[in-house]
């Protein structure tokens, strides 16, 4: 439940007023979210068609769960039957540290430097739901952060937080693309945001040109089979495919190249969320040390970190590929 310092008296709001919707936005910001939008829980029909086309081209690789129930991913009611509104938030995770060049280490994607964003964003959303319920006891909701079948980036666009860049990441005019996205689906009818941010990528193709594996096969389309992030995180095979392994460019877990070159990230601001401060060894990972980890040491080392996603076998596979590449 919400643990704020204020004492709340439940208020009868049926339907909730515009003023209460503004209070929700304000509370979301007080919880640390830089951006927040509220939209109806209506299906994303056009996004469902694009998802089906992407799946038909096999661009999801071995991520078979993405192909299950595409309609569920685009209709909040199929996730939360009482859905009336979707509160969409973005949380800045940028920190100023930079990777350093060393043949003994591998680069880690910025999103995994600190605590697991699933926990950080999820906890804040649950606090927001508790705050709402302190005002409206009949309010119910479901929090979604990446692992639930919600198209996070599409919802962020619908809520006016930004646009999908040619690298397929959400770009915001305020913070660039270094943001995590989450949703709170609720049974409340709220006052909705109407503004949609237009695509500001223009003629820029820096992300396509910079990708060393040509994973961005065309603007706004990524083939996961060619993507370094997919290969080093999601791929469960004992070997990384040769064309990708040959062009890792030092990446051990994930890849930030397309975001690093994006001009919109000149607007990046340092996060105020202490949980995203880099953990020791999470900016550049010691490759040899990865092989010395026991199962218990691995569990302890990556407790509460997004890097546990790749499993110990995946991390050791990645480290071996990089070390062998550095010996050549």
Q: Which residues are catalytic?
A: 146
Sign of CA dihedral 12, 15, 19, 22: positive
Angle at 226 between CA 224 and CA 227, to 5 degrees: 60
Report the alpha-carbon distance of residue 87 to residue 175 in Å, rounded: 19
What angle do the packed helices 117-135 and 18-30 form, to 10 degrees?
140
User: Locate tokens 């062009």: which residue?
Assistant: 247
């Amino acid at each position: 439940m919400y643990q704020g310092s204020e004492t709340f008296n439940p208020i009868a709001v049926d339907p909730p007023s515009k003023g209460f919707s503004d209070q929700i936005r304000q509370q979301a910001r007080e919880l640390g979210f830089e951006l927040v939008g509220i939209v109806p829980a209506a299906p994303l029909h056009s996004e469902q068609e694009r998802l089906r086309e992407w799946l038909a081209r096999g661009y999801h690789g071995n991520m078979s769960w993405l192909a299950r129930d595409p309609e569920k991913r685009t209709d909040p009611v199929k996730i939360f039957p009482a859905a009336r509104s979707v509160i969409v938030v973005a949380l800045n995770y940028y920190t100023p540290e930079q990777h350093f060049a060393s043949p003994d280490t591998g680069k880690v994607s910025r999103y995994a430097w600190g605590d697991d964003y699933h926990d950080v964003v999820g906890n804040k959303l649950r606090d927001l739901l508790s705050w709402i319920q302190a005002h409206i006891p009949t309010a119910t909701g479901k929090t979604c952060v990446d692992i639930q079948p919600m198209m996070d980036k599409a919802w962020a666009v619908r809520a006016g937080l930004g646009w999908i860049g040619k690298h397929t990441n959400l770009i915001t005019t305020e913070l660039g693309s270094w943001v995590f996205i989450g949703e709170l689906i609720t049974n409340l009818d709220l006052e909705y945001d109407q503004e949609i941010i237009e695509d500001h990528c223009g003629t820029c193709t820096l992300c396509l040109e910079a990708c060393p594996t040509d994973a961005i096969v065309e603007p706004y389309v990524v083939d996961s089979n060619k993507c370094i992030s997919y290969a080093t995180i999601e791929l469960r095979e004992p070997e990384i495919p040769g064309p990708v392994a040959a062009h890792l460019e030092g990446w051990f877990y994930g890849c930030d190249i397309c975001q690093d070159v994006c001009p919109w990230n000149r607007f990046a601001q340092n996060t105020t969320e202490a949980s995203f401060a880099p953990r020791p060894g999470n900016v550049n990972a010691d490759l040899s040390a990865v092989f010395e980890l026991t199962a218990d040491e691995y569990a302890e080392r990556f407790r509460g970190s997004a890097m546990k996603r790749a499993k110990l076998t995946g991390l050791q596979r990645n480290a071996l590929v990089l070390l062998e590449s550095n010996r050549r």
